[in-house]
Amino acid sequence: MRSKVWTLVAVLSVAAVLLAACGPKATPTPTQPPAQPTQPPAQPQPTQPPAAEKVTIQVMVVDYIPDKTDKWLEEEVVPAFQKEHPNINVEFVYVNWGTLDETVQGYFAAGEGADILNLGSEYVAEYGDRLAPLGQYFKDWPDWAQFLPGTLDTVMWEGEPRGLPWLTAPRAYMCRMDILKEVGWDKVPQTFDEMVKLAGDATIVEGGALKRQGFTPLDDWQEYISLIWTLGGSIYKEDGSPNFDSPEAKAALQFMYDRRRAVLPNEQTAGLPETTGALLASDLVACQWGNLWGAPATNDPIWEKIELFPGFTDPDFPNSKPVVQVFNDWLAIPAYSKHIPEAVEFLKFLGSAENLNTYNSHFGSFPPRKDAWFGYVEQDAVMKKMGELMGQYGVGFADIRETAQFRDVLMAEMPLYFSDAQDLDTTLKNIQEKYTQILRDAGRLP
Amino acid sequence: MRKTGRRESFLPRKVRQAFSNGIVYLLLLAGSGFMLFPLFWMLSTSLKTMEEANSPRITWWPAEPQLDAYRQVLTDSRWLLYFSNSAFVTTLAVLGTLVSVAAVAYAFSRIQWPGRNIVFFLMLSTLMLPYQTTLVPQYVMFNKIGWVGTYNPIIIPGFFAGGALYIFLLRQFMLGLPKELDEAALIDGANHFQIWWHIILPLCKPALATIAVFLFVGNWNALQAPLIYLQRANMYTLPVVIANLINPQVRVQPWPLIMAASALTMIPLVIVFFFTQRYILESVALTGTKG
Amino acid sequence: MNPKLYTLLWAIATVAFIILSSLAVASVAKLVARWRGKNRLYQSRTFAGYFFASPWIVGYIIFVIGPTLASLYWSFTRFKLPAPPVWVGLQNYIQLLTTDDQFRVSILNSLYVTLFGLPLQLATALVLALLLYRRLPGEQVFRMIYYLPVMLAANSAMLITWRLVLNPNNGILNTLIRMIEGVFPFLVPVRQGVVWFTEITNAAFLGLQRGDFNLLHQTLARGLPGPEVMPLWHQSQLWSKPAIILIGVWSCGTMMMIYLAALSSVPPHLYEAALVDGANGWQRFWRITFPMISPATFYNLVVGIIATLQIFEQSYVLTDNGGPAQSTYFVAYYLWRSTFRFNKIGYGAAMSWILLVLILILTLIQFRLANKWVYYEYEEA
């Protein structure tokens, strides 16, 4: 038996050597446990002039409408761009939100991938240190001044821009005034307490199931952050530690609980049926928080009955002011890119007023630069109103540190409180402790 | 203790038998209902109009079944691409895995060689290894050789006889074939490759068909690996696309369309199962009997 | 290049590589055999054996040994790509086993499904097998119907369908329950009892999980739920795990087939003897059938535990990121999120090793206990 084992070991080791020898032909050195990544940290080379030879840049796009946005990009934008820059080819890679994180993680892990990345609003804190600083490229670009200051916050990391905003989607509150009238309300709620009351008044529960929901959504972690900001609070303290032991964090969560209880008398109530189409048009929902993408189309006549408003305040908090949470999706250039100057050229081209206007018209979102607010943005009454609210109350959804883990903590703790499984103080204490630990593990806190 | 085996009964035996069979049939039918109703619902929803799918009242079967959702999926070049992606991945992976599994099973069943038992034991022990243990290092490895973003990582590993269970299954089957077959052929001067290809494999058709179906199902349904390795929308396979159809933030779900796409995804599985069920049902039983 | 063509070329290269490496391995094996002074026949058998087994051996080295060793090493490091791993000793394991609530929750969620879901799955499979074993006409059709879900269950298309089916408000399942109750009103209290029992057990389990029995107290205080309360399935943390168990039970066809095979191997003379002794059907089942098919139960149990501990698709597709309140956050899903979302590769590797050890321990316990209740024919002989 022992000799057999030794034979096996010998054979295997010889085989391994042989494998390593003839490996590169088929699978390059796969027997080595790939423990030490060897790719050098790609440094941006700002002084390098645009190369004369033909280069290809890859652009990863998340928000696109198939057969519309992609056609526009490939058949109109790129040919126009190549008239000015015949030496730059542009290729597009389309992904969707569900797989974006895996894809981007993969790019950074490999140290290669698309040269321009379409990132979400809160991503700069996640990837900022791996994106190329672009200050010197945008320094002399006159268009830079046209971008709305709030949207530029989204792309700044350590004092340098890391990309260009290209889609702005504000989230505000909307109510169906006909339903409100029916339940005795002639105006939208002004205070937190009124909102709770209205949510209850407009709700109909029958046979243990919701027939009409006074307010939706009832457990959105992003709205929770928006509400903290509404009360004048912040989710971080001065020293960068989480701020969930603040009175604002407490009042906001308490409010969400009260509003939920007003809608769902208990947690055994069945929610709305799965539906197709915008909820606000379905008569199933009285009030909603969200962006225009999830709302009825802005040319839908139902909008005559819908009032758009920035939110409500709490008289107990003197600093409170409604907040319209603004999501700015943006295009970033990763530090690993070998074609940063070319990618910047394309960004500048794509970021023109006309292009941003066309792109955003596909989603009913706003172009992130002021001089691009023409056409549908001005002609459409709903867009116009939303634009005004954003101008007055907009706060960018940015700088959310370790977003994915933070989200998991909130999604674990908030529902426990909402379902009475744990009380308010425990919930806030848990969020505070867990988020502190996450920030510490990530090296963002000592 | 009574002497007669059966309790005395006022009903004649035949009536009792028929009665108990009736109950068994009822139970079997109830079980079938439970097994089939999600599929029924998938089909019914895919044929509904938006209004019917939307309505809080339940519509069991649409008044006028609509094929619009199917037409929409089947004329959409993107969906056709996803189908062809899934078909490509599945075909290539099944072929490569099947041939290599057949070779390895042959070595474990029809040839005596030193170290066979040790290697066989090693192979069985991989059954215990959670998929996730190797998933991550494999990801890093494929990343290093530039395979992330290609179909390679979800196809090529199978070529190395991926799937210890299938090797085991086929080995069991091959052990059951009479030894004289290859002995006679060896005396006639045939080599092992010829024996494997011309004698053993043709006799293993039922088992090979079963394994091919299992491999087909596994690859057609695979979600985890395609999710991390295929990084472009034009390379996605059907499960990845469908898993991302639902956007919980928005709740604007075109259910008839989603269900039509899902039904079309299921159809190849159902067809394959229908034509091979006899082999499969036999072989599943074989895995359970101890080897 | 077209990605499909690219992979096709790689596939051809791989086949060439496998053949070449198999030849190499086999030649070395033969050389060793000759060097050990074995005869020609022995040498040629060695060559053939290693040649045919090589695809697996080579694959094992590349795709199992290498990655497993790498994973073991990383589990002792802090590894955030693209930075190289940094040795941290046992820190990952210590953190996982002591301070990481999320890990404790996810392990317990997985164990819940194993503990409650698996027996239910086994029982359903056994009942179906016993029904089919009557060999009534049409048995083949029923067999097909019962096995079909196995092939479909893992596809995300099916899980999305379940989402629709399980909608607590107008999903077809709850509607069906209401309809059946309309015909048989005596079932309403039964359902109330089931709802009550499920919510109590789940609230108790959540209490154990969190060390806070608030929800249990409230559920108890509420008493028997009213007749209007329906199962909330993936909408509620008290019902999400039962929903996943339901899907598991739905796809119990493999276990059923294994039971069916075991049933047909029970020697008929045992039943005849029992009939002579006057045993009724119930006694015959527990005294003869159940012990005789215990190897099948054992097999189903071992395979089932390994499978339930690796549930992933359900968390990803059905319940949207392991919700609500992380009640379907299973260990395989947390591992996935740690690695591919949080970029904590060392931490994820440590998790996979704990999962491996857990599977090993559970399997060992099974084998230990097996002596007590699994009946093997050869012991008798």
- For residue range A185-222, what is the model confidence (pLDDT) as tens digits? 999 999 999 999 999 999 999 888 889 999 998 989 99
Give the per-residue pLDDT at B285: 63
Q: What integer best gives the mean pLDDT of chain B? A: 83
**Residue A100 scores a pLDDT above 90:** no
Tell whether A432 and A296 lie within a shared domain. Answer: yes
Residues of C in contact with A207 (CB under 8 A): 228
Nearest CA in chain C to A107: C82
Give the per-residue pLDDT at B286: 63
Residue C224, CA atoms < 13 Å, CB-side half-sphere: 9
Give the per-residue pLDDT at B253: 62
Residue A72's domain is classified under what CATH number?
3.40.190.10
Give the per-residue pLDDT at B11: 67
Mean pLDDT (whole number) for A411-437: 92
**Residue C74 scores a pLDDT above 80:** yes
User: Inter-chain contact C325–A27, Cβ cutoff 8 Å?
Assistant: no
User: Inter-chain contact C136–B21, Cβ cutoff 8 Å?
Assistant: yes
Give the per-residue pLDDT at B91: 94
Mean pLDDT (whole number) for A23-32: 34
Give the per-residue pLDDT at C271: 83
User: Inter-chain contact C170–A273, Cβ cutoff 8 Å?
Assistant: yes
User: Inter-chain contact C7–B242, Cβ cutoff 8 Å?
Assistant: no
Chain B touched by C350 (CB under 8 Å): no
Give the per-residue pLDDT at C84: 85
Does residue A430 lie in a domain region? yes
Name the token pair of C142: 């029923």
Does residue A394 lie in a domain region? no
**Residue A46 scores a pLDDT above 70:** no
Does residue A390 lie in a domain region? no
Give the per-residue pLDDT at A345: 94
Check: CB of residue C91 under 8 Å from CB of residue C361. Answer: no
Mutation pick from B51, B75, B156, B251 vs chain A, by most beta carbons of A within 10 Å, is B251
Find, among C302, C306, C297, C317, the residue nearest to C367 by Cα: C302
Chain B touched by C342 (CB under 8 Å): no
Chain C touched by B124 (CB under 8 Å): no
Q: Is the peptide bond before C82 cis (omega within 30 degrees of 0)?
A: yes
**Residue B9 scores a pLDDT above 70:** no
Mean pLDDT (whole number) for B145-155: 89
**Residue A40 scores a pLDDT above 90:** no
Residues of B in contact with A282 (CB under 8 A): 54
Mean pLDDT (whole number) for A220-236: 94
3-state helix/strand/coil string of chain B: CCCCCCCCCCCCHHHHHHHHHHHHHHHHHHHHHHHHHHHHHHHHHHCCCHHHHHCCCCCCCCCCCCCHHHHHHHHCHHHHHHHHHHHHHHHHHHHHHHHHHHHHHHHHHHCCCCCHHHHHHHHHHHHHCCHHHHHHHHHHHHHHCCCCCCCHHHHHHHHHCCCHHHHHHHHHHHHCCCCHHHHHHHHCCCCHHHHHHHHHHHHCHHHHHHHHHHHHHHHHHCCHHHHHHCCCHHHCCHHHHHHCCCCCCCCCCCHHHHHHHHHHHHHHHHHHHHHHHHHHHHHHHHHHCCC
Query: How many CB pairs below 8 Å do chains A and B form together?
Result: 93
Tell whether A132 and A213 lie within a shared domain. Answer: no
Sign of the torsion formed by the C-alpha atoms of A29, A30, A36 and A39: positive
Q: List the domain boundaries for chain C.
A: 3-74, 98-168+232-380
User: Inter-chain contact C359–B37, Cβ cutoff 8 Å?
Assistant: no
Check: CB of residue A152 under 8 Å from CB of residue A134. Answer: no
The residues, any chain, with a CB within 8 Å of residue B58's CB and separated by 6 or more, are C170, C172, C175
Tell whether A419 and A431 lie within a shared domain. Answer: yes
Residue A153, CA atoms < 13 Å, CB-side half-sphere: 14
Give the per-residue pLDDT at A334: 94
Give the per-residue pLDDT at A108: 82
Tell whether A292 and A413 lie within a shared domain. Answer: yes
pLDDT band at A232 (very low <50, low <70, confident <90, very high): very high
User: Inter-chain contact B270–C148, Cβ cutoff 8 Å?
Assistant: yes
Residues of B in contact with A278 (CB under 8 A): 252
Q: What integer best gives the mean pLDDT of chain A? A: 84
Residue with the bigger pLDDT between A189 and A13: it is A189
Chain C touched by B103 (CB under 8 Å): yes
Mean pLDDT (whole number) for A313-341: 92
User: Inter-chain contact B141–A282, Cβ cutoff 8 Å?
Assistant: no
Tell whether A176 and A317 lie within a shared domain. Answer: yes
Q: Which range marks the domain in which residue A194 is found?
A: 171-325+400-441
DSSP-assigned states of every residue in A170-220: EEEEEEEHHHHHHTT--S---BHHHHHHHHHHT-EEETTEEEEEEEE-SS-
Chain C touched by B77 (CB under 8 Å): no
Residue with the bigger pLDDT between C264 and A32: it is C264
Does residue A29 lie in a domain region? no
Give the per-residue pLDDT at C38: 86
pLDDT band at B246 (very low <50, low <70, confident <90, very high): low
pLDDT band at B219 (very low <50, low <70, confident <90, very high): very high
Tell whether A146 and A216 lie within a shared domain. Answer: no
Percentage with pLDDT > 90 across chain B:
21
User: Inter-chain contact A415–C237, Cβ cutoff 8 Å?
Assistant: yes
Give the per-residue pLDDT at A323: 93
Chain B touched by C192 (CB under 8 Å): no
Tell whether A236 and A354 lie within a shared domain. Answer: no
Sign of the torsion formed by the C-alpha atoms of C243, C249, C254 and C255: positive
Of residues A7, A419, A423, nearest to C32 (C-beta):
A7
Does residue A371 lie in a domain region? yes
For chain A, the domain total comes to: 2
Chain C touched by A105 (CB under 8 Å): yes
Percentage with pLDDT > 70 across chain A:
87
- Domain at C98-168+232-380, CATH from 3.40.190.10, 3.90.420.10, 1.10.3720.10, 3.40.50.10090: 1.10.3720.10
How far apart CA B115 and CA B101 sit, in angstroms, is 18
Does residue A165 lie in a domain region? yes
User: Inter-chain contact A33–C66, Cβ cutoff 8 Å?
Assistant: yes
Mean pLDDT (whole number) for C329-358: 90
Chains that touch A (3 or more CB pairs under 8 A): B, C
Within 273-292 of A, beta carbons closer than 8 Å to C belong to 273-274
Give the per-residue pLDDT at C377: 56
Instruction: List the single range of C119-128, C184-193, C287-296 with lowest mean pLDDT.
Output: C287-296
Tell whether A221 and A293 lie within a shared domain. Answer: yes
User: Inter-chain contact A22–C20, Cβ cutoff 8 Å?
Assistant: yes
Mutation pick from A12, A101, A276 vs chain B, by most beta carbons of B within 10 Å, is A276
Domains of chain B, earliest start first: 68-288 (1.10.3720.10)
Mean pLDDT (whole number) for B240-251: 65
Percentage with pLDDT > 70 across chain C:
98
Nearest CA in chain B to C58: B160
Tell whether A262 and A191 lie within a shared domain. Answer: yes
User: Inter-chain contact A37–B144, Cβ cutoff 8 Å?
Assistant: yes
User: Inter-chain contact C169–A111, Cβ cutoff 8 Å?
Assistant: no
Chains that touch B (3 or more CB pairs under 8 A): A, C
∠ at Cα C268 (C265, C273), nearest 5°? 140
Tell whether A214 and A319 lie within a shared domain. Answer: yes
Residues of C in contact with B139 (CB under 8 A): 339
pTM for the predicted model, two decimal places: 0.84
Tell whether A224 and A312 lie within a shared domain. Answer: yes
Chain B touched by C310 (CB under 8 Å): yes
Tell whether A129 and A223 lie within a shared domain. Answer: no
Please write the tens of the pLDDT for every residue from C144-162.
Answer: 889 889 888 888 888 888 9
Nearest CA in chain B to C29: B114
Residues of A in contact with B119 (CB under 8 A): 8
How close does chain C come to B181, measured CA to CA in Å?
16
**Residue A15 scores a pLDDT above 70:** no
Of residues A94, A211, A275, nearest to B54 (C-beta):
A275
Helix C118-132 × helix B13-46 angle, to 10°: 120
Percentage with pLDDT > 90 across chain A:
50
Give the per-residue pLDDT at A255: 96
Residues of A in contact with C30 (CB under 8 A): none
Last residue of a domain, one of A353, A385, A417: A385
Give the per-residue pLDDT at C178: 87
